[in-house]
Structure 1
Amino acid sequence: MDATKGNIYAILNGNKQFLIPVYQRYYSWELEQCSRLWNDIVDMQKKNKVGHFVGSIVNIAEQAMPTGVQKYMIIDGQQRLTTLSLLLIALRDYAEAHPEDGTINARRIDNMLLKNEYEDGDERYKLLLTETDRDLLISLVEKKPISNPGLSRILSNYNFFAGKIADMELQPKDVYEAIGKLQIVNITLDRNVDDAQAIFESLNSTGKELSESDLIRNYVLMGLEPVEQRYVYEHMWRPMELLFDYEKQDSVMDRFFRDYLTMKTTRIPKIDRVYEGFKAYHLNCEFATIRELCADLLTYATYYTNMVFRRSDNAVLKSLYSDIGDLRMEVAFPFLLKVHNDCAEGVITEDNLVEIIKMCISYVFRRSICDIPTNSLNKTFATLRNEIKSDDYMNSIKAFFVLRDDYKEFPDDEKFEKAFVTRDIYNMRSRNFILSRLENYGNKAPIIIENYTIEHIMPQNSNPRDEWKKMLGDNWREVQKTYLHTIGNLTLTAYNSEMSDNPFMIKMEMEGGFKESALRLNAYLIKLTEWNEAHIKERAQQLAEKAEKIWAYPEITDAELAPYQVEEKPAQKYTIDSYDINAFTKTLFDMLDRRICNLSPNVKREFKKLYIAYKLDTNFVDIVVQKQRLRISLNMRFTEIHDPKGICRDVTGLGRWGNGDVEVFFEHTSEIDDVMELIEQSYNKQAEE
């Protein structure tokens, strides 16, 4: 490794070329970063500072040639190198447009800092970007017309610098001088000695933070030989990025990698730890080569982007993808990736795929109507693939859903209907989704929900007109409070402002009123002359019956379900009195038990033979009753616990009752808050996963 401190002029001067490898991300600096650089230049020059450090450039020198251009492959620093090149192009263009200025040598900038004067082809340019940006930068260097600039950051940042130079906040010669004062550490690695990947990971860039996808791309492609690197990039990686419209949607690609890893491993990495999870997966995955791994990624990325961006030639699938997006049920993607691949490989039919997606949508939707907490859904869908029986594919999935109980349950028709007619639909995030699906179910000419607004048939006004009070009856306040935002009182209209809180018959007879409406949601209203509690309940019941068909419960016979029903053997029942507990430890236990159970209604307590377990999906804390204290096991790695009081013990690898590598004792009631702070860490870890 050779590290030298210098400036951009020293780095670019000479017969040399800096190449951005295919695994590097596209140019991504925005005006914010450019503005910061410009302000540093202005501040440095106005305060007459001798220099300003702007970061490092890390590169690998290609094999030296006795003649010709010495090439360097950029590992880190392309953002600042590209940005400084854009600033130099803007300075050169100013000098050429204003020859009377005479303080800047445009030819010097052109031939020493932007081009290799005596070279041809690509070797003519000091800086070659990746294919996404290469032609545009060359066009700026060569002053060629740009026919289709689009939303390029290259062009917008060049225009930013050109505008700043033209504004004369600094004299152009001062800008040129200040650029020379910008200090850069140029680090050149030896390919045979230095670990470029390790160095890349350790760099702390002051520019725009790399996304998880950026890090994964570098990890996958950096170690390949040039020919294989280009093949994998051009045939697999770049097509995958294009599926995501990656330059604008890098966060979507980050989520894809998380869901891909979840599907493959059934473990859910945190979104900011996806890169680490990917490296661990790669070391133990089934693929012998990077090419095979990237081919698999491209396959699943196709399924993923079809769902996210609602792409399909199958109209039914496309509509279901819209439902997934509208319900924001990305939590199901790991499982849906699996079934899409099984469909592509002929394990299931496209009709099966449609049925499974509908089942997942119904599961998520019914639970939301029944107000069942959603924090278990990610683990439910992460592990669902393990429940699939290849010889009974569809029934195994249906059985899984039907047999869930407690906080994982799939609400049946009775529970769903009861919640649907009483739920405050109006204040749900999915209210437009619900009303549009009710309206469009079985409709060959579906409406566009955006053309309508939601109308309360019985108005929201807390002091409605006398006609409404009379129609609703003496208990009109209670009727309004109970049913105002429920499905029975909601509809769609294009005339919301005109309807306002008018009496029911005016809403019915007015131009564009209910009687003239072609919407199916308003069909029940047309025959009425009044609107009261009975009609709200009757209409709600009708809509609930339709909702049961739209978001259906899985159909499976008792015979088909039987193989999946485990006959439970009567288990020995334990209680707190099953343990050797005394009055003091009982006081400690009651205090701690109450606090743990209050963490969430989803916490389940089980009295085991040797300890008491508290769990969400799995145990997060176990309690062993001892003579004068409680021994507590936290289901975490010892390195994960934050223990400011130093009261935890590392029991990794030691035999013990309970789960986890962290042990703490509860010996006095005064310790309750400290102990609970530790328990909450284990609870939060499992809840977040």
Structure 2
Amino acid sequence: MRADTVDLKRIFGRDIRYMVPLFQRPYVWNRDDNWTAFWEDIRRTAEQAEGAAETGDTVFPHFLGAVVFDEARYASSDLEARQVIDGQQRLTTLQLFLFAARQSAQKTGDDRSVRLLSRFLENDPDLYDTERNPDHRFKVWPTNADRDEFRSVMSGEDGKGRLSEAVTYFRRVVSSWLEDSEDPKQRLGSLVQTLREHLRLVIIDLEEHDDAQMVFETLNSRGTPLEHADLVKNLLFREAEHTGVDTGRLYSTYWEPFDQDEWRVDQTTGRITRSRLDVFLTHWLTMRTQRDFTFPALFKEFERWQRGRQVPVEEIFVELSRYAEIYDGLENRAPDGVEGRFLYRVKVMQLSTPMPLLLCLYGMGQRLSEQRRVRAIRGIDSYLVRRSILNLSNRDYNHVFRDLVAAAIRQPDQADEAVLKTLAAMQGQHREWPADEEFRNALVNDPIYQRLYRHRVRILLEALEDALRTPLTEQLAVPVGESIGSKLTIEHVMPQSWQENWPINSDDPDATATRDEIVHTLGNLTLATAKLNPAIGNMGWHEKRQWLGEHSLLRLTHGTLLNPPPGTGLGNWERTWDETRIRQRGTYLANLALRVWPSVDELLAEDIDDE
């Protein structure tokens, strides 16, 4: 067999038919598992090309995987033909994406981009009989089960199958991405350039005596691929050997722990599963380079950094060992105190992007006082939680935290101020720190239970419970952790199905709609055990109040629900539970949340004792 690494110009730039045999499975890729990650990889590469046009930096190619071709037995035209043994999902997705990109180019009015993309989609009609074999215009011809829909979709007709969904999804995300740019046509040019030059596939061409089935089975079911950490390890030890450093000592002193199971266990970040060591190396290298790169480029990015900085190899071993210890401490920290609570919330929200900044802050050691480090973490916590409650996008967090790392490194003795001021200067919906009034309004008025992921609502309520406790409270902190879901759940005081036992005493025709929304606001939510929650269900207020009073120990319930929150001034609080009380409790809890997650001005106004 012959193997080669090629760009899309080599694959689709010529007149050819890639035919998928009928015995292969139909197209199965979907948005959650495949299309989103596929688009994000292309988007990042295109944005690198966009930036490189201004800076002159090198754009590293992005590898999309491997495909295997065999000779096609049935060629019925002057077109070259290959049979797709492996990789049909990638090839089909590429064609669907190229078609969607061409539709966006047509909408933008960029004729040049339309022509360039068309060459990747359609064969020269002079090379086949257009009347007898009209489908020969397609460069990829899928398996039998997908051919009718593929023909329809690639002809611009609407459909309801998976292929049509893919085109609709890609057209939507590409159009939105183009519209976010000040110059959509220029951005489209970067995308087309990326598709032509910066995407790579490994092409394996089988030769006469190669067994196609054996190759297919081997690629899909056998072998253990090398991890990026193994490539890094190999590079570093070859460098150590070349420079005469004792490799045995380096291994036993610094690297040996990385070969243990605790570092090789799989972790999932986003939609990618990789070893814990690869995850750590990605965070560490992001901190060191302050560059945004995709996981498949990890080794190449490491090699580029190591060659460019010419850091002595033993210093790299020492640094990796030191930061691995910091990373261990962050991952395994108990969920108490300001830092522990923050790390717990980040884990629950499944956010990995802050980790390079955390490695940076903790790696500064005595140069950054503990008081300043805690203040920086409180700022990051406020920034992330406020944005999560407002349901704002986290798509730009890679760039945000890369900028924060750079700011902290420039002022290591006052990294907290650098981080806070950089966050405060962020602008735009994907970056800005929500203001107090915006945050308060969302907490008081928005039906957060409906609009947010349950885990975001839960960590909000946990934090409020924690803030209500004092040194005189029996338990200093509300229990949190992996088992919290089986202990405490979100409880609607006025139930979601309120019609049964909670009649409305109003002739207002909008009262029902108002109540349907207000039951999901913060003022009507508390926490209860998994056993108590279903037991009280849709009970009326007086019975539910009795049950909560007897079984709940939470300050969130006793201090703001069963009894009036401080400063409400409403008499006979316990008499009923209605819209007025929900709003007053919501306002109190929102003000409490503003103390838990303060504004940047409040944080910067705090006195810091550097002594």
Normalising TM by the smaller chain, what interval? 0.5 to 0.7
Distance change in 2, residues 1:206/1:229 (3 Å) = farther
Match of 2:459 in 1: 433
Aligned match for 1:420, one of 438, 443, 449: 443
Aligned match for 1:282, one of 289, 306, 309: 306
Aligned match for 1:259, one of 283, 290, 307: 283
Question: Structure 2 length normalisation: TM-score?
Answer: 0.53
Distance change in 2, residues 1:351/1:283 (3 Å) = same
1:438 deviates by: 1.1
Distance change in 2, residues 1:229/1:275 (3 Å) = same
Aligned match for 1:455, one of 491, 503, 506: 491
Distance change in 2, residues 1:476/1:493 (3 Å) = farther
Say how many residue pairs are matched: 351
1:543 equivalent to 2:569? Answer no
- Counterpart AA for 2:439: F
- Once the two structures are aligned, what percentage of the paired residues are identical? 25
- Counterpart AA for 1:420: L
- Counterpart AA for 1:287: V
Q: Deviations over 1:44-82 (max 9, x none)?
A: xxxxxxxxxxxxxxxxxxxxxxxxxxxxxxxxxxxxxxx
Q: Deviations over 1:486-515 (max 9, x none)?
A: 2111111231111111111110123xx246
Q: Contact between 1:303 and 1:337, CA under 8 Å: does it hold in 2?
A: yes
Query: Any idea what SS the aligned residue of 1:469 has?
Result: coil
Match of 1:238 in 2: 256
Q: Contact between 2:440 and 2:591, CA under 8 Å: does it hold in 1?
A: yes
1:474 deviates by: 6.1
Match of 1:397 in 2: 419
Q: Deviations over 1:223-264 (max 9, x none)?
A: 543972221111111234559543556622212211212111
1:210 deviates by: 2.0
Aligned match for 1:488, one of 513, 520, 523: 523
Distance change in 2, residues 1:478/1:360 (3 Å) = same
Distance change in 2, residues 1:251/1:473 (3 Å) = farther
Flag structure 1 segments of 5+ consecutive residues without an equivalent: 1-202, 561-689
Report the Cα distance in structure 1 between the residues aligned to 2:353 and 2:517, rounded to whole angstroms: 33
Query: Any idea what SS the aligned residue of 1:351 has?
Result: helix
Report the Cα distance in structure 2 between the residues aligned to 1:386 and 1:223, rounded to whole angstroms: 28
- Counterpart AA for 2:332: F
Aligned match for 2:359, one of 337, 345, 348: 337
Match of 1:228 in 2: 246
Report the Cα distance in structure 2 between the residues aligned to 1:211 and 1:247, rounded to whole angstroms: 12
Q: Deviations over 1:339-363 (max 9, x none)?
A: 1111x1x211112111111211111
- Counterpart AA for 1:271: F
Give the number of the structure with larger relative contact order, counting CA–CA contacts within 8 Å between residues 6 or more apart. Answer: 2
1:351 equivalent to 2:371? Answer yes
1:545 deviates by: 0.8
1:214 deviates by: 2.3
- Counterpart AA for 1:447: V
Aligned match for 1:213, one of 220, 226, 229: 229
1:301 equivalent to 2:324? Answer yes
1:322 equivalent to 2:344? Answer yes
Report the Cα distance in structure 2 between the residues aligned to 1:241 and 1:474, rounded to whole angstroms: 68
- Counterpart AA for 1:263: M
Distance change in 2, residues 1:242/1:545 (3 Å) = farther
Query: Any idea what SS the aligned residue of 2:527 has?
Result: strand
Q: Contact between 1:425 and 1:487, CA under 8 Å: does it hold in 2?
A: yes
Distance change in 2, residues 1:502/1:476 (3 Å) = farther
Written as runs of structure 1 = structure 2, the 5 A alignment for 1:579-598 is none
Q: Contact between 1:472 and 1:531, CA under 8 Å: does it hold in 2?
A: no
Question: Structure 1 length normalisation: TM-score?
Answer: 0.47
- Counterpart AA for 1:438: L
Query: Any idea what SS the aligned residue of 1:441 has?
Result: helix
Report the Cα distance in structure 1 between the residues aligned to 2:506 and 2:555, rounded to whole angstroms: 24
- Counterpart AA for 1:501: N
Match of 1:503 in 2: 540
Report the Cα distance in structure 2 between the residues aligned to 1:554 and 1:546, rounded to whole angstroms: 16
Distance change in 2, residues 1:248/1:386 (3 Å) = closer
- Counterpart AA for 1:354: V
1:382 equivalent to 2:402? Answer yes
